[in-house]
Structure 1
Amino acid sequence: RFSLFLFTVVLLPVLSGAGLAADDPTYRRTDPVTGQQLQCKNCPPGTRLGAHCTSSRETDCVPCGPGLFTEFWNYIPNCLRCGACSDHQRVVRPCNGTVNTVCECEAGFFWDQHFCRRHTECKPGHGVKASGTPHRDTVCELCADGHFADIRKMHAACVTHSACETDEQLVLPGSRWHDNVCATCDQLTQKGTGTHMFTIT
């Protein structure tokens, strides 16, 4: 009797751990029939639990179907549903059974508190210090003296006022929102009469 008992004690742990690699993730479970503590193998990414292991059978894992995934080793009964991108987002990586859908804000938007917001447009006299990305808003700065940001361009940085050419005269000094306006004598007089108009906005 003692020999039979010893054989049973030694055999049961071998059966409960049969087929397990040393680094396979496991979970503990009590066999409802024998009351034995089992070390069951987890299901790999891309699958879910079909049936728990027993003292004579390994864990049964079932592949996730279309539109479903599991990213980690698990023993959950149902795969997770793939996520969908929201407004103003694009798919960076589609759901493939082992990873969820990866989304990113489309051009001109950035992620802020659970939704995509449009990048800030710098005010007149302010230029772009750091361009916006899908994860960060545009950073604006006030243009320093002698610099301007072209208000005709949505995302212009502050740049130095242009210098007039040697044959030009300064007609209108630059400001923080427009460049110096320069012109030659011919442009100003137009054959000696009249006034030349310059558009700065």
Structure 2
Amino acid sequence: MGGRLLVFVCVFGTIVASGFCCGAKEFTSSDGQCCPMCNEGTTVRRECTIESGTQCSPCATGTFMNQPNGLRACFPCVFCDTGQGLFAKQECTAKSDAVCDALRGYFCRSLTANGGCSWAEKHSSCVPGQSIKEAGTTRSDTVCEDCEDGHFSPHGVSCTVWTKCSETQMKKEEGTSSSDVVCGSAPRHHFTLLAPTIGWCFTVFGILKKSLCS
């Protein structure tokens, strides 16, 4: 009987000081009354009285309120800092917060409940001797892998097979994972013609011999 009486009294609003009888779209005022909540995009400017209802004010620029409420101030909007690799995928309005995401060249390290990003980092760069196995996205970092034997990558982008020197060339420098083989011209072989020289020596010897014997 006591429980039924309490419900009856609550319905007629005679027990309001405790605030537990206010409806789903009401809030308890400072003097214990049940006042109508303000709508999304607004907050309470003046609480209700016996003579008047709740007076609401719209959220100022840079603030929002995404639910019916009995609050005195709107929530501050999230700032998407481009210096931290973020941009506003969805701008802040009076009824909804901004949604940030990672800029091109960055990936998100911390996702928010609304599918946005609160912390981004630059994609990793692959070093010489490596290639890009998987390009970075807004949700994942770059994946690098080492070049296989016989391949090189000077800029950390892609691996290329070493140059093969031709038959008329010689290898001047061996290839590494970050540099190509260096080929150069093979040295030329010089041959000396001895036959004319020998003949000239015999001619000179014959002249000298003839002179001595005369």
User: Normalized against structure 2, the TM-score is what?
Assistant: 0.52
Residue 41 (structure 2) pairs with residue 51 (structure 1): no
Distance 2:170 2:50 in 1: 93
Equivalent residue, structure 2, for 1:66: 61
Larger Cα Rg: Structure 1 or Structure 2?
A: 2
Shift of 1:121: 0.9
Alignment of 1:181-192 (within 5 A): none
Distance 1:94 1:69 in 2: 11
Deviation by residue 1:19-65 (Cα, 9 ceiling, x = unmatched): xxxxx943452683xx66x3x44333211122334566544332112
Distance 1:42 1:120 in 2: 49
Residue 125 (structure 2) pairs with residue 121 (structure 1): yes
Identity %: 29
Instruction: Describe the shift of the 1:110–1:10 C-alpha distance in structure 2 as closer, same or farther (beyond 3 A).
Output: closer
Shift of 1:78: 0.8
Equivalent residue, structure 1, for 2:102: 105
Letter in 2 for 1:102: V
Instruction: Describe the shift of the 1:57–1:142 C-alpha distance in structure 2 as closer, same or farther (beyond 3 A).
Output: farther
Alignment of 1:128-167 (within 5 A): 128-145=132-149, 150-152=153-155, 156-157=157-158, 161=161
Letter in 2 for 1:91: A
Residue 33 (structure 2) pairs with residue 29 (structure 1): no
Q: Which runs of 5+ in 1 are unaligned?
A: 1-7, 17-23, 194-201
What is the aligned-residue RMSD (CA, Å)?
4.5
Q: Tell me, yes or no, if the aligned pair for 2:150 and 2:162 is still in contact at 8 Å.
A: no
Report which of the two has the higher share of helix: 2
User: Normalized against structure 1, the TM-score is what?
Assistant: 0.54
Distance 1:133 1:25 in 2: 44
- The count of aligned residue pairs is 163
Q: Which 4+ residue blocks in structure 1 deviate beyond 6 angstroms?
A: 169-174
Shift of 1:134: 3.3
Distance 1:170 1:53 in 2: 95
Equivalent residue, structure 1, for 2:78: 83
Distance 1:71 1:106 in 2: 26
Shift of 1:115: 5.0
Distance 2:125 2:50 in 1: 66
Letter in 2 for 1:151: P
